[in-house]
Structure formats: C-alpha cells, structure tokens
Amino acid sequence: MDRASPAEQEWWVEVRGGELFVKSWAPSRISDPAPLFLFHDSLGCVELWRDFPRQLSTGLARVVVAYDRLGYGRSSERMDPPSADFIAEEARDFFPAVLRSVGGQRFDLFGHSVGGGMAVACAGKIPGCQTVVTESAQAFVEPRTVEGIRKAKQGFEDPVNFNRLARYHGAKASWVLRAWTDFWLSPEVAGWSLAPLLAEVRCPLLAIHGDADEYGSKAFPETIQRLAGGESESRIVPGCGHVPHREKPGLILEILRDFYYRKL
C-alpha cells in the first residue's frame, strides 16, 4: 500500500444560510472510488479531526472528505439555535450540497457522537450509501448523557477551556457551546430517540462505542444495532472514552479496515 501523504484540497459549498468549509484527502492509489465522509461531533470541526482523516485516507486507500457544519469551524456563522429536528435536517438541507460538490454515485459515512446520528440520517434518506459507521453516537437520552454535558458546561466556564474552543470556532464559540448544551439539557429533548432514522437504514451499519464513554452506556450501540433497518453490528472498545478515534486510532483503523473488507 502506498504510504505517501495524501493530497489535500479545500473548498467552500454554498447552502441556505451561508457557506460550508470542506476538505478532502486523496491517496495516490485508491482502493474504492466511493468517498468516505466524516461528520463531526457537537463541538467539532474539520481541524478537530486532527490527523484522523489522513490516517484513514492512507490506511484505507480511500478519498476522505470532512466538512464544518454551518456555524462551526471555518463555515459561516449561524444565529438561530438548532431545531428539535436538526439531526435529520443535516441530511435534508446541508449534506446533499457537500455530496454534489464531490460527485459520484456511491459513498460511505462515518459520524462521531451527534455526527453519528447525522450519518444515520443521511444513510437512510440519501440514495447511494454503501455503509455507515457510528462512533459514540447517542441513540436516546440517558442520565449519563445529561450529567456528562452538565459537567462539561461547567468546565467551559473556565476561560482557559473556553478559549481552547474559540481557537477552532473563533467568534462562533459561544453559539457552538450553547447549541450543544441547550439542546441536550432541554427537558423537551428527554424523549428523543434515533429509532425512526435507524429504521430507514438499509446498508450495512457498524456502531463503535468506548466502554468508558462519559456521555452514554453500551445501551447506545446495542440499540443502534438492534433498530437498524439492515445488516448491523457493534464493537465495544475497551478502556476507551467518548473519542475512540483519538484515544485508540490504530485499533479504530483496524476495526474499519476489517468492516470495509467484509462489506464492500
């Protein structure tokens, strides 16, 4: 396998409300022409994936594409708070524009945390998805989810922690933080479930989850596997918290390589 650094490209995509920043990594030899798209978490952005996209591109010989959702990272700011349906909205209003900018008929999806829910929504609603992988995705709202977000919100009252967030989101950092905490801590969200979106997924699905995830128990991947509309499986990563691709990147790459080898 060619281990040369993948070629990187950046561009912006116009959507309702502004522009989305998109970045791709392309190896010199490609094993599957279908691009692999990454969906970031509630505080994330392209830059916060760090070296993971390059590792995926090199290790899997795939074109990897990541983008900043509207209001995050280098994308346009967003003033309105997320709606109760914002996970499904990503599949309807935003990701299709990113997909069109890349082209092709087939694609694969990988989403971290709430990005996992968005990957599920896109897999079920947009034709052409070959596989979908969720990592640390929420399937419903657990007490652990609420408590973890409350503790994180308190932590961001420390200017050092908030400034670290602002390093990636600039003046949008306050909106990013509120969009995360206000949604998940709202009493109206207590009954939320990923179940309706999971039922629409027909392609192979893999749910990855750390056994020490501070925002959700193993009930999340178990529920995702059980309710998916097609073939599904789950992997519990031992000794791992909410960000397996950062905490155990080598193992996650091995899990993905095995999954794609069997399913594609």
Q: pTM value?
A: 0.97
Domain boundaries, the chain: 7-140+193-263
Kindly state which CATH superfamily the domain 7-140+193-263 is placed in: Alpha/Beta hydrolase fold, catalytic domain (3.40.50.1820)
Contacts of 42 (CB under 8 A, 6+ apart): 113, 114, 176, 179, 180, 184
What is the reported pLDDT for 1?
Answer: 39
What is the reported pLDDT for 213?
Answer: 98
Neighbours of 117 (CB within 10 A): 25
Query: What whole-number distance in Å separates Cα of residue 37 and Cα of residue 39?
Result: 7
Sheet holding 7-15, edge to edge: 7-15, 18-26, 62-67, 32-39, 107-112, 129-135, 205-210, 232-237
Please give the chain's pLDDT, 264 residues, in tens: 346 789 999 999 999 999 999 999 999 999 999 999 999 999 999 999 999 999 999 999 999 999 999 999 999 999 998 888 999 999 999 999 999 999 989 999 999 999 999 999 999 999 999 999 999 999 999 999 999 999 999 999 999 999 999 999 999 999 999 999 999 999 999 999 999 999 999 999 999 999 999 999 999 999 999 999 999 999 999 999 999 999 999 999 999 999 999 998
What is the reported pLDDT for 264?
Answer: 86
What is the reported pLDDT for 3?
Answer: 60
What is the reported pLDDT for 210?
Answer: 98
Neighbours of 77 (CB within 10 A): 15
Tell me the CA distances in angstroms from 230 to 27, 34, 237, one per residue in order.
31, 20, 23
